[in-house]
Structures are given as structure tokens and as C-alpha cells.
């Protein structure tokens, strides 16, 4: 089995070389996306990450960024934060932590104080579901939305 594999490799050196170049380019792109994401705490959207990565890899496509973000999420190397009605946001910090979301603009920030995750009620029953875990989320209004709101109110008065 092992011998057959080695033989196969040596039979197509050019194809393998090309493939490994492609793999290393993909790995580089993915590493850069991850590094950019880990350098911020803004929980950016895919479009924002695309803009960040493009400064260093001007020819990278939005599709490549999307694909890599999906892959990194599937591999649990980054977090994907999804809320109905808002664009997905991504988080390079995969440690257990909670988030607060602005109900106006969808902006997300980390909640730094530790909040215990509630235990699932005993004999919890939801039809058609096996409930595995719970998550705490906070909602509010971010500072810039609050100021915009106050300014708008001021204009009316
Ligand atoms: Zn806001
Ligand atoms: Zn976070």
C-alpha cells in the first residue's frame, strides 16, 4: 500500500509540484485571512475582511475570502456569528466568551466580564430536538447609534 503510494507520487512529479504550489497559495491566503481576523476585535463581516486582506493580497477574490471563512469556521479555527436580519460576522477569538450586539446597526463587541452559561433545565423537552447547550447573548445600542439617535432627537426639538 505504502509502496504503491510512493510510486504514484514519483510518476507525476510535475502535476504534484503544481498541486503543491496551489496548496501553498491556498494555505498562505487562509493564514493571512486568519491573521487579519485575529488582529482585530471588531468582529468584521466577510466584506470587511475582504477589504482588509486585499491590502496585502490585491488580487484575492471575494469568493476566495468567503470560501476560506467557511472552511475556517468548519474547522473551528474562527467563529461565525449569525443573527437573522444581519450580515454574518467573524471572530478570530475562539475562546469561550460572550457578545453584545447593537440592535440598530448589528455591530458586535466582546463582553469581557465572565457570565455563567445557564444550565439546561432538567428534563428539557423541545419537540423534534435534542438540546445540547445554551448560549448567553446581550443586546443593546452601541455608542455611535446612541449619539446619532440623540442628535436626531435634538434636530426635531
Ligand atoms: Zn450601532
Ligand atoms: Zn468575540
Q: Residue 114 belongs to a domain with what CATH number?
A: 3.30.1490
Q: How far is C-alpha 87 from the geometric centre of its chain's CA atoms? A: 11
pLDDT for residue 1 is more than 50? no
Q: pLDDT tens across 51-65, in order?
A: 999 999 999 999 999
User: Where are the strands (E) in the chain, listed by range?
Assistant: 79-81, 89-91, 98-102, 108-111, 137-140
Same domain, 12 and 72: yes
Same domain, 57 and 129: no
Q: pLDDT tens across 30-45, in order?
A: 999 999 999 999 999 9
pLDDT for residue 5 is more than 80? no
Last residue of a domain, one of 40, 69, 93: 93
Please state, in angstroms and rounded to a whole number, the distance separating the CA atoms of residues 92 and 31. 12
**CA of 99 relative to ligand 1 center, distance in Å:** 14
Q: What Rg do the C-alpha atoms of the chain give, in angstroms?
A: 22
Q: What domain range includes position 103?
A: 96-157
**CA of 66 relative to ligand 2 center, distance in Å:** 19
Ligand nearest to the CA of 96: 2
pLDDT band at 78 (very low <50, low <70, confident <90, very high): very high
Please give the model's pTM, rounded to 2 decimal places.
Answer: 0.75
Q: pLDDT tens across 103-127, in order?
A: 999 999 999 888 888 888 888 899 9
More confident residue, 15 or 57: 57
Please state, in angstroms and rounded to a whole number, the distance separating the CA atoms of residues 74 and 91. 13
Same domain, 58 and 102: no
Ligand nearest to the CA of 100: 2
pLDDT for residue 85 is more than 50? yes
Amino acid at each position: 500500500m505504502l509502496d504503491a503510494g510512493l510510486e504514484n507520487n514519483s510518476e507525476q512529479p510535475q502535476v504534484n509540484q503544481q498541486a503543491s504550489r496551489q496548496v501553498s497559495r491556498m494555505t498562505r491566503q487562509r493564514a493571512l485571512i486568519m491573521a487579519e481576523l485575529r488582529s482585530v476585535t471588531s468582529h468584521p463581516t466577510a466584506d470587511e475582511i475582504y477589504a482588509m486582506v486585499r491590502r496585502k493580497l490585491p488580487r484575492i477574490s471575494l469568493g476566495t475570502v468567503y470560501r476560506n471563512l467557511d472552511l475556517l469556521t468548519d474547522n473551528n479555527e474562527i467563529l461565525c456569528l449569525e443573527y437573522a436580519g444581519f450580515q454574518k460576522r467573524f471572530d478570530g477569538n475562539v475562546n469561550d466568551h460572550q457578545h453584545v450586539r447593537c440592535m440598530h446597526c448589528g455591530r458586535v463587541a466582546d463582553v469581557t466580564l465572565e457570565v455563567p452559561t445557564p444550565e439546561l433545565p432538567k428534563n428539557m423537552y423541545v419537540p423534534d430536538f435534542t438540546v445540547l447547550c445554551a448560549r448567553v447573548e446581550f443586546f443593546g445600542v452601541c455608542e455611535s447609534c446612541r449619539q446619532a439617535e440623540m442628535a436626531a432627537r435634538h434636530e426635531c426639538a
